[in-house]
Amino acid sequence: MPKLDRMLRVVVISLGGLVAVWGVAVAQNAPPPNQGTASPAQDTAQPPTNAEGSTASFPVLAVTSVEILHSSHDPSLAVIAARGLTSSEGWDEGTLVPLTSGKPTDGVLDLVLVANAPQDAASPGTYGPIEAVLPVPELPFTAVRVRSATNTVTLKDLNGYAEAKPPDNPCGPCVGKHFVAKGATAPAGLAATDLVRQEDLPPDARVLMPTDGIRDMRTNPNRLTVIVGEDGRIVDAIWE
């Protein structure tokens, strides 16, 4: 049996009856038994919750590739495979979640690559790899779009492959380096490797200077918070 077909069959077995339901979005968004049907306002996918009711999964930091694998045996089966990067190590259970139910009018299947984030804040280091697969019994779509917290990768060739450049990691790690605010001049005599420029940080990074207050303490593992000391050097940095 070809390697691709063996992999597809393993995916089918591991995900049980999902491939028996027509329409990937319907299968992903079907309500649990005895809980009724969701109202139209609930059609958009929501991150899974844990037993305490708090959000356990988030969009990953970035999508790096999307491809579709096809089985050569009946029943006809395709598997959408997405790979990405997380802000830190320790994320798991990558999942592709459809944004809406039913067939979209533009023919594009819109998905979000999510995963379970670590319970604790993480110090900047290397980005973590993550992947997810979604089997579908057929592909009544013209393209597949996979979103993350910072980018989107669209695959228009349903027999092909699409990829995106991985994001830079300017703060991995960055504690002890001199922070250069946007538009400011770096101190003389410091090497480029000893500097962290604000414009190189992720777009939603939060920089806390010694006199800054803080207004939002909600968890966001895709938001980098950088704390700058009195001497202009970074004293701490965390993915929240």
pTM: 0.75
Is there a contact between 162 and 66 (Cβ–Cβ < 8 Å)?
yes
- If you average pLDDT over residues 165-186, what whole number do you get? 94
Q: Looking at the chain, how many residues does it have?
A: 240
Share of the chain above pLDDT 90, in %: 61
Asked, as a colleague might, if the bond just before 118 is cis with ω within 30 of 0, I would say no
Give the position of tokens 């001497």.
231
Lowest pLDDT segment from 37-41, 87-91, 148-152, 225-229: 37-41
Helix (H, G, I), strand (E, B) or coil at 58: strand
Predicted confidence band of residue 213 (pLDDT cuts 50, 70, 90): very high
Burial class (CB in 10 A: 0-12, 13-18, 19+), 126: exposed
> How many whole angstroms separate alpha carbon 15 and alpha carbon 124?
34
How does pLDDT run across 21-76, given as a tens digit for each residue?
334 443 443 344 444 433 333 334 444 444 444 547 999 999 999 999 988 888 88
Q: Where are the beta strands (DSSP E) in the chain?
A: 57-59, 62-70, 78-86, 92-98, 108-116, 128-136, 143-147, 152-155, 161-163, 178-180, 195-197, 206-208, 224-228, 234-239
Q: What are φ and ψ of residue 192, in 5° steps?
A: -60, -30
Predicted confidence band of residue 196 (pLDDT cuts 50, 70, 90): very high
How does pLDDT run across 115-157, given as a tens digit for each residue?
999 988 899 999 999 999 999 877 788 999 999 999 999 999 9
Task: State which CATH number among 3.30.10, 3.40.50, 3.30.70, 1.20.140 fits the domain covering 178-239.
Answer: 3.30.10
Helix (H, G, I), strand (E, B) or coil at 163: strand
Round the average pLDDT of the chain to a whole number and report it. 81
How do 234-239 and 224-228 pair as beta strands?
antiparallel
HSE-up of residue 159 (Cα within 13 Å, Cβ side): 2
- If you average pLDDT over residues 191-219, what whole number do you get? 93
Per-residue confidence (pLDDT) for residue 77, from 0 to 100: 85
Per-residue confidence (pLDDT) for residue 74, from 0 to 100: 81
